[in-house]
Amino acid sequence: MVDKRKIGKLDLEVTEIGLGTAPLGGWPIEVNEEVAFKTLETAWNKGIRYFDTAPLYGSGMAELRVGKYLQSKNRDDFVVSTKVGRLIVDTEESKAAQKFLGSPINKDSQFDFSYDGVMKSFEDSLERLKLDRVDILHLHDPDNHPDHFEEAKEGAIKAMIKLKAEGLVSALGCGLNQNEMLVEFAKMGCFDCFLLAGRYTLLDQTSLDELIPICEKNNISLILGGVFNSGILINPSPESYFDYTKLDSDWFTNLEDSLVRKPKLYESADYWLNKANKIKSVCDNFNTTLKKAAIQFPYFNDIVSSCVLGMNNPQQVNENITDYNNKLSDEFWKFLYDNELIDKKSKLK
């Protein structure tokens, strides 16, 4: 089964593995409803009780599938998180359907960090999820435009605080791929957790510099996405991806243009590939896989409550749970630590 950890100082626990449902919304491949339900059922049978979704994922399709599956379960037996910051709207030509394959061709998402936009988004999510409350509500990607940060502070966050005060939400969070903006949000004093993608992984522990210390100070838990850093921690090669960007000679420029985050000057495709391959070599020597190590690494730090893994079929669920349960040796972790392949500030006990 899967152990649980608390969110901040709240009376709310999540399983250490959560099911990320972007793949059930059709990213990066189409998943029919039958396979989606089998995936959800396998996750449930393996002990996963935390399900993370968002309106963006398939223009509401992931939320609909999660809601349809969970309606037969006892409400107190699972935790659901969804997100605000985008509204699903009717359209004649959906750009979203080109990314989330199999999603409605007459639906799309648009950014809206206003107070009213969040209230509308939350109401729509409850209807799709067939729920009367949500356990965790995340602010979703407020870094895609220079104005969104201030818009979120003036509108979205005030709405989120009101929803929590009314008992419609238990915990407030924010989902991002970068450390810097989350540091600023941590100072606001209203967040219980952050959904951080990619910055506290076996490969990249840059959140140890500023973000994790301020989260520890403010009792903010981390829910981790992107533990495989978009694929480089499964099979590192120039054909793999890091931060959703292919690791070719144009990686740095393409990442800057993508607005996922702003890369540091020392970063390059070769830098990350070399580091990943060094860690892979250690894994090979210890007769294990990079993927298994990537899944297990985060839990040494108590600030981490859960790792959300995107899974689109039962086989992936079974493999990930096996990798989670079959713990690696202390000698393996000590070797990585002693050879400075993980940050010296990392906790390994």
Name the residues annotated as catalytic.
Answer: 52, 57, 83
Asked if residues 156 and 174 have their Cβ atoms less than 8 Å apart, the reply is no
Amino acid at 100: F
**Type of residue at 210:** E
Inter-residue contact 191 to 172 (CB < 8 Å)? yes
- Find, among 117, 175, 171, the residue nearest to 143 by Cα: 175
Q: How far apart are CA 94 and CA 315, in angstroms?
A: 31
Distance between CA atoms of residues 181 and 152, nearest Å? 12
Cβ proximity of 143 and 156 under 8 Å: no
Nearest to 208 by CA among 200, 197, 217: 200
| DSSP code for 114 | S
What DSSP string runs through 242-264? ETTEE-STTHHHHHHHHTS----
- CA–CA separation, 8 and 201 (whole Å): 20
The CB density around residue 207, as the number of other CB atoms within 10 Å, is: 26
